[in-house]
Chains A and B, each alone.
Chain A
Amino acid sequence: MTALTDWLTDPDPKSRAQARLGQAWLSWLRLRRNPLAMTGLVIVVALLVLAAFAPVFATHDPIAQNLGQRLLPPGTPGHWLGTDDFGRDIWSRIVHGARITLYIVALVALTAPVLGLVIGTVAGYAGGWVDTVLMRITDIFMAFPRLILALALVAVLGPGIFNAVLAIALTAWPPYARVARAETLTVRSSDYIAAVRLQGAGAARIVWGHVMPMCLPSVIIRVTLDMAGVILIAAGLGFLGLGAQPPLPEWGLMISSGRKFLFDQWWVATMPGLAIFIVSLGFNLLGDGLRDVLDPRSAGR
């Protein structure tokens, strides 16, 4: 262990890999000292574990109804978070709902940044009228309020998880395009890009092989910070009945179905809301801590 840390903290690294791993190690040390960020990390890891082993953690079937057990309060033996109006165990539904949340988050995280990255790098690298047109389009999409555009899109596409993901991704890409373009503009004029061009590489190859990788780090930081927003919008669509459809245990949908009993059986709407809150807080805390560690300008060291 000490040999490893010595190797990592070696002020005179022998290889590029060692230098890079050493940097990562220092970042990790800095992150570890931030209790809020560590809380976030624990929450996100817990979410991953919960989703991966949902059948193990769930005590009941998340969908099977049991009308004899309707609306039991939290603390009832066997149903520690209570049951909903169909007698389904709320804890088990939340556990299985973690899978849906992760599914949405992962899909959006894989699509929107890629779309933004492509548009941003192309606009930044091509310059001229291509840049103007693409950036104008980006501005137009940015001018739309995200949730309302997503609503209009879902209205066209029809409700459902996949369409909700599509609508969110279609509204989430513009900021990534902006970040990627800014990054591209700084990279474009650098000498090594000129060197690649002199070797005869075409524009597509330069953008794909040399410009895009340079934009990745800043885009990745943004993705982590955006995840909480994606979770909230997805839950909002679910709440309005435009995302996941019953009987799926999607958290926003669960809140919406608990609304009818708000004043008498408060837990039905409260518990899934708490789940959304805790998970998006986890992503926010982690993203915030990561930015402090990875972005030297805001770290104030």
Chain B
Amino acid sequence: MSLLTVENLRVTFDTETGPVQAVRGVSFSLGRERLGIVGESGSGKTMTGRSVLRLIRPPGRIEADRMEFDGQDLMRIPETGMRALRGRRIAMVMQDPKFSLNPVMRVGEQLTEGLRRRDRLGRAEAVRKALAALEAVQIRDPERVMQAYPHELSGGMGQRVMIAMMLIPEPDLLIADEPTSALDVTVQAEVLQILDTLVRDRGMGLIFVSHDLRLVARFCDRVLVMYRGRIVEELPARELMAARHPYTRGLLNCLPRIGGARGPLPVLDRSGDWADD
């Protein structure tokens, strides 16, 4: 059975120079699996992820023939229904904890907020759950982190807090939007490991948005390759390195390889049919 079905999703921004389409007719479906979305910046991969939560700010508009999550039509349900889905059933981890955590609220308050407001838990119970969640993302001194402000945390620490915050309500679907791009390479692996374990253990669906093909190939079951708001190729992750589509091949050829030829990396060839409107 499928957790999420998206058919012909379009995201349009009305600007002064006329409408600009960021996503133009994307369709895919997702079970309790890990789906990667790759592409260059501006390919519409982030917009696709955020559309599922209906979190595109005006002047952006979302249109789709069908967008269903667990039998509910995401295009039709009112904002209150959408709010009940957000956080509790669909969550999202964003790129940079420096910006995605509220700078003037203590970490503890941000962690327990959802539990207390949304799930109406008592203070002690919420704190207990928050501490457990921090331990689950391998934070060794959760009490101290609860008292800290986001700017007092390192990037890797902040991203763990973010993951803990999003996984507290045990959602069915997690959207991870470049969750490690803003982190140091040494921390990236740790954070990914944590994310991987949690998603596996709890059997969630995952949409993993990234520009890093190797990461996606290793981390996901299936991959969508996006270019200029469209899906140009869909394939199992283990076959990604052997992809046939010229754009995907182009992306792959741009990756430097240890032991590979030392010449300049090739420039992406955008002359095929797929690159036209």
Contact = CB atoms under 8 A, between A and B. Distances in A.
Answer yes or no: A and B touching, Cβ < 8 Å.
yes
Nearest to A30: B16
Contacts of B16: 30, 301
A30 B16 CA distance: 9
Nearest to A301: B16
Nearest to B17: A301
A301 B13 CA distance: 11
A301 B18 CA distance: 12
A195 to B, nearest CB: 32
A66 B111 CA distance: 79
Contacts of A301: 15-16
Nearest to A26: B16
B13 to A, nearest CB: 11
Nearest to B15: A301
A30 B17 CA distance: 11
Contacts of B15: 301
A301 B16 CA distance: 7
A37 to B, nearest CB: 15
Interface string A287-301: 000000000000001
A27 to B, nearest CB: 12
B20 to A, nearest CB: 12
Interface in A64-82: none
A160 B25 CA distance: 71
Contacts of A30: 16
Interface in B49-75: none
A219 B151 CA distance: 35
Interface residues of A, number: 2
Interface string A246-269: 000000000000000000000000
Interface string B159-179: 000000000000000000000
A301 B15 CA distance: 7
Interface in B1-55: 15-16
A130 B272 CA distance: 62
A140 B16 CA distance: 44
A30 B15 CA distance: 12
Interface in B94-140: none
Interface string B248-271: 000000000000000000000000
A10 to B, nearest CB: 15
B112 to A, nearest CB: 34
Nearest to A299: B16
Nearest to A29: B16
Nearest to A300: B59
A289 B154 CA distance: 42
Nearest to A33: B16
B15 to A, nearest CB: 7
A64 B16 CA distance: 55
A189 B16 CA distance: 35
Interface in A208-252: none
A290 to B, nearest CB: 17
B59 to A, nearest CB: 10
Nearest to B16: A301
A191 to B, nearest CB: 28
A301 B59 CA distance: 10
A35 to B, nearest CB: 16
A39 to B, nearest CB: 21
Interface in B207-249: none
A301 B20 CA distance: 13
Interface in A29-69: 30
A136 B52 CA distance: 54
B57 to A, nearest CB: 11
B155 to A, nearest CB: 27
A239 to B, nearest CB: 44
A178 B15 CA distance: 34
A183 B16 CA distance: 29
Interface string A93-130: 00000000000000000000000000000000000000
A289 to B, nearest CB: 15
A42 B15 CA distance: 27
A237 B68 CA distance: 68
A267 B16 CA distance: 46
A296 to B, nearest CB: 12
A270 B15 CA distance: 44
A192 to B, nearest CB: 31
3 A-B pairs closest in CB distance? A301-B16, A301-B15, A30-B16
3 contacts: A30-B16, A301-B15, A301-B16
Interface of B: 15-16
